[in-house]
Structure 1
Amino acid sequence: MLAWAGLVLACLFWAGNALVARAFSDAIPPFSLAFWRWSVALALLMPFVAVPLWRHREQLRRAGWRLWLLAALGISGYNCFLYSAAHSTVALNLTLVNTCLPLALFLGSGLLLGEWPGRRAWLGIGVATLGLLWLIGRGDWRVLAGLSFNPGDLLMLLAVFDWALYTLLLRRWSGLLQGVPGLVQLGALILLGVPLLLPLYLLELAGGARFAPSPENLVAIGYTALCASLVAYFLWNHGTRVVGAARAALSNYLMPVFTALLGWLLLGEGLQPYHWSGGALIFAGLLLASRPARS
């Protein structure tokens, strides 16, 4: 249950991250936000993991290219796709495209890991998907038929498959880092991921895209660095190892629910009946899929 609680909390922080990405899309360029998010996260984490990183250096070195690939997918690629998509598509479409993630992980877990979910898990994903579509459609199925898409949605789709591959490989290669504490693993990934973001950031600067170091912008970067990066990634990585990639992915259905709640609390956006009914279906599907099968 602690692993599931951590996954839910991670999704809450990532819902906040989505709000930040949309709210500051005109103020902070996407690669700048990604680079400074992880640079600040690395600065916050290093005092706690520098010595353990050195102690586990041989085990990390043996992970070799696999660690670099995980960093490229989970630290660099996903965030660049997500923040770029936030500049060019609406929030509703971001949420709709994100529904591909649990299905991608369900299929990927079976094909790559041999971990085919049981019937109860498939039923849970069906119930949660209905709840999410009801939420996106604002309680009217005809709204879904009228949705329009743009090139930014392709970036979000790439982000979804990027994150799915990161999660599956993290699970598949977990044995390589067995015995290395979770925070140390995260520190290693960030340490490799920041240099991969640097060329994109410099390219953005060369194109004249900059942001002002205003208090609001710095708070936004601080939130993404601490909550959406360090805390959320640690909880996600731990939850994936404990409950499996496919079942962990079901927690992503909570993100639009949390986004609606945060919009109500922070932006004064009203909650409608379809928010409650859609959220209830999502929670029901998550509970159904997370319950262990009877022996």
Structure 2
Amino acid sequence: MRLQWQKLLLLGVFGIGLTNTLVYVAVRSTTATNAVILNSATPMMVLVLGSLYFRQRLSRRQWAGMGLALAGALLIVLKENLLGMSHFQFSHGDLLVLAAGLCWAVYTLGLRTLLPGLDPLVMMMVLLLVGEAILLPAFVAETWQAGGFHLLSGPIMGCLLYLGVFPSVLAFLMYNRAIAQVGAAKAAAFLYLMPAFGALQSILLLGEDLRWYHVAGLAAIFSGIVLGSLSRGTVAATPRPPTELSAAK
């Protein structure tokens, strides 16, 4: 791990320290719909940056699958208002959402540059420590402005515990593992499942009605992921010289 501390530092900055923070700040000055729509550009950023940095050639089938999944995600977000994009208004918060997507793309591709042999739990601990060190000054400043620490209620503590365990640590561990198994491009395509799962949870947990655009959007997303996964255009991680591999063990 000592040979890769600089890479881990950058991954902690972009993946833990910046991505979610930029989104949380962005939603203060933009709508949730705008945030979801612009966040849908993240998988495309992964493909474009991957093709530039790793010089990988992507097949037409892979681009078509990504486009189909994107169309399904937008259909769910825009619901029946298919012309809603024409009323899209750009704000300062929207730029932050795009910046967050770019940070996540850098994090996703950065995982491919790590040498093998690094324990996933150790790597996750290092990334979290780096991210927390970056966010600590902002946390102290907000706590000071709020008048110090306050005792939180049980439900709020439960929500914070859920956010800290499931969407944070476990999600990162599984995503990191997915990158190692199937590559950045294929793993990034599954990000389109976030609006799909959000719609399903709204139906199951909040009692919202199941509409045609939910079914059509889910079908498009899953079809696009399958189409992209069947593509042979994804290039495996860049091979490493034997000297580097032996040094990493």
TM-score range, shorter chain: 0.7 to 0.9
Task: Establish whether residue 206 from structure 1 lines up as the match of residue 144 from structure 2.
Answer: yes
Measured after TM superposition, the shift of residue 74 of structure 1 is 0.8
- The separation in 1 between residues aligned to 2:110 and 2:232, in whole angstroms, is 25
Match of 1:61 in 2: 2
- The separation in 1 between residues aligned to 2:73 and 2:150, in whole angstroms, is 35
Distance of aligned partners of 1:87 and 1:217 in 2 relative to their CA distance in 1, 3 Å threshold: farther
Match of 2:232 in 1: 293
- The separation in 1 between residues aligned to 2:18 and 2:132, in whole angstroms, is 11
Match of 2:175 in 1: 236
Measured after TM superposition, the shift of residue 212 of structure 1 is 4.9
- The separation in 2 between residues aligned to 1:258 and 1:90, in whole angstroms, is 19
Match of 2:244 in 1: none
Match of 2:122 in 1: 184
Q: Which runs of 5+ in 2 are unaligned?
A: 234-249
User: Of the candidates 68, 71, 75, which is equivalent to residue 127 of structure 1?
Assistant: 68
Residue pairs, 1:14-163, within 5 angstroms = 60-163=1-104
Name the aligned partner's letter for residue 217 of structure 1.
I
Q: Deviations over 1:102-131 (max 9, x none)?
A: 111111111112233222211101211222
Q: Is the 2:76–2:199 contact (alpha carbons within 8 Å) kept by the matching residues of 1? A: no
Q: Is the 2:61–2:227 contact (alpha carbons within 8 Å) kept by the matching residues of 1? A: yes
Q: Deviations over 1:62-116 (max 9, x none)?
A: 2122211111111111121121123332221111001211111111111112233
Measured after TM superposition, the shift of residue 292 of structure 1 is 4.4
- The separation in 1 between residues aligned to 2:64 and 2:43, in whole angstroms, is 13
Question: Tell me, what secondary structure is at the counterpart of 1:73?
Answer: helix
Question: Tell me, what secondary structure is at the counterpart of 1:141?
Answer: coil
Q: Which runs of 5+ in 1 are unaligned?
A: 1-59
Measured after TM superposition, the shift of residue 221 of structure 1 is 1.1
Task: Establish whether residue 218 from structure 1 lines up as the match of residue 186 from structure 2.
Answer: no
- The separation in 1 between residues aligned to 2:79 and 2:61, in whole angstroms, is 27
Task: Establish whether residue 272 from structure 1 lines up as the match of residue 211 from structure 2.
Answer: yes
Question: Tell me, what secondary structure is at the counterpart of 2:83?
Answer: helix
Question: Tell me, what secondary structure is at the counterpart of 1:64?
Answer: helix
Aligned-residue Cα RMSD (Å) equals 1.8
Measured after TM superposition, the shift of residue 290 of structure 1 is 0.8
- The separation in 2 between residues aligned to 1:279 and 1:89, in whole angstroms, is 25
Measured after TM superposition, the shift of residue 150 of structure 1 is 2.8
Query: TM-score scaled to structure 1, two decimals?
Result: 0.74
- The separation in 2 between residues aligned to 1:97 and 1:154, in whole angstroms, is 9
- The separation in 1 between residues aligned to 2:85 and 2:232, in whole angstroms, is 34
- The separation in 1 between residues aligned to 2:162 and 2:26, in whole angstroms, is 20
Match of 1:174 in 2: 114
- The separation in 1 between residues aligned to 2:37 and 2:109, in whole angstroms, is 22
Measured after TM superposition, the shift of residue 154 of structure 1 is 1.7
- The separation in 2 between residues aligned to 1:288 and 1:127, in whole angstroms, is 9
Q: Is the 2:46–2:105 contact (alpha carbons within 8 Å) kept by the matching residues of 1? A: yes
- The separation in 2 between residues aligned to 1:191 and 1:145, in whole angstroms, is 42
Distance of aligned partners of 1:184 and 1:291 in 2 relative to their CA distance in 1, 3 Å threshold: same
Question: Tell me, what secondary structure is at the counterpart of 1:288?
Answer: helix
Q: Deviations over 1:206-260 (max 9, x none)?
A: 3227665111211111111111112110110111122111221110111111111
- The separation in 2 between residues aligned to 1:183 and 1:157, in whole angstroms, is 29
Measured after TM superposition, the shift of residue 293 of structure 1 is 3.4
- The separation in 1 between residues aligned to 2:136 and 2:225, in whole angstroms, is 38
